[in-house]
Amino acid sequence: MRRLLTATLLAGSTLAAPALAQDQGNTATAVFAGGCFWCMEPPYDDMTGVQATISGYAGGSTPNPTYEEVTAGGTGHAEAVKVVYDPSEVSYEELLRTYWRNVDPFDGGGQFCDRGPSYRPAIFPQTQDQREAAEASKNAVAEQLGREVAVTIETAPAFYRAEDYHQNYYEKNPIQYRFYRWTCGRDDRLDEVWEDVPRLALAE
């Protein structure tokens, strides 16, 4: 389904390029994979303190991958979103809580209707402090839900920005985005797993 939606946009795409590795000013970065990166931008864009979200690829070994290469498999990359945020306004722990509420933590083979390693759920810590926080949050989620969590915590030496047509897709193509999200069953499954937990943050 998603391949059909993106096919008409490929002609205007650009090659992926490495994102800046270092934070600038009073900002920090976080990288999360939760299936389709189109769907991972909105919850973070709605958070106070988040300055930008960037769709891209992380966790693999192929430099400058294209969307076609990643979805075909073999690059090791997952679709991911890079979150640029102000730590004085929003904490990494709050970003983690929003992450968990927007993924199916039990499905390591993809997310919702999107299957395969490129759609695997993963957290890519950028610092040791982030890694420790991610591990603690994973343990807390497993305890809260009473099941083993399939989300992995991985090292990603580089993040590669996805093609322009993927950036802010939900804003540029709202009808196609809503149709994809509905047919993929994302919200139904999220509500089944998390029930009445707010979408923007996992309950303390």
Can you give the residue ranges of every domain in the chain?
Answer: 2-6+19-194
Per-residue pLDDT in tens (0 to 9) along the chain, 204 residues: 454 444 433 334 333 333 333 445 699 999 999 999 999 999 999 999 999 999 999 999 999 999 999 999 999 999 999 999 999 999 999 999 999 999 999 999 999 999 999 999 999 999 999 999 999 999 999 999 999 999 999 998 899 999 999 999 999 999 999 999 999 999 999 999 998 776 655 434
3-class secondary structure, 114: strand
The one catalytic residue in 36, 39, 113, 184 is 36
In this prediction the pTM is 0.85
Which H or E run contains 81?
strand 78-85
Q: Which CATH superfamily includes the segment(s) 2-6+19-194?
A: Peptide methionine sulphoxide reductase MsrA (3.30.1060.10)
Residue 12 tokens, joined: 């205007």
- Output the CA torsion 95→126→60→151 (10° steps): -40
Does 36 participate in catalysis according to the annotation? yes
